[in-house]
Amino acid sequence: MSESIRAVVSDVDGTLVDRAKQLTPGTIAAVDRLRAAGIDFTIISARPRSGMMPIADALGLDGAMGAFNGGTVFRRDGTVLCQHHIEPALVAALFEVVGAAPVDRWVFADDRWYASTDQGHHVASERIASNQAPIVTQDFTPLFGRADKITFVSDDPALLAGLHDRVHQAFGDRATVVQSQTYYLDVTARAANKGDGVALLASAMEVPLARLAVIGDQANDLAMFDRAGLSIAMGQGPIEVRERAGFVTAGNDADGVAQAIDTIILPRCYVTGSSA
> Which letter does DSSP use for residue 226 in this model?
T
Which residue from 161, 44, 47, 167 is spatially nearest to 106, judged by alpha carbons? 47
List CB contacts of 187: < 8 A, sequence separation 6 or more: 86, 94, 149, 150, 151, 152, 167, 171, 175, 176, 177
193 burial type by CB count under 10 A (0-12 exposed, 13-18 middle, 19+ buried): buried
Is 231 or 180 the better-scoring residue by pLDDT? 231
From 25, 55, 69, 71, select the one nearest 214 (Cα to Cα). 69
Query: What is the structure's pLDDT at 270?
Result: 62
Tell me what pLDDT residue 62 has: 95
Task: Kindly report the pTM of this predicted structure.
Answer: 0.91
Enter the DSSP assignment of 170.
H
The pLDDT-based confidence of 182 (bands split at 50, 70, 90) is: confident
State residue 98's pLDDT score: 94
Digit-coded pLDDT (tens) for 5-33: 999 999 999 999 999 999 999 999 999 99
pLDDT at site 2: 47
Mind listing the pLDDT tens digit for each residue in 225-275?
999 999 999 999 999 999 999 999 999 999 999 999 999 999 988 643 334
Q: Work out the average pLDDT over 168-178.
A: 94
Beta pairing class for 247-248 and 104-109? unpaired
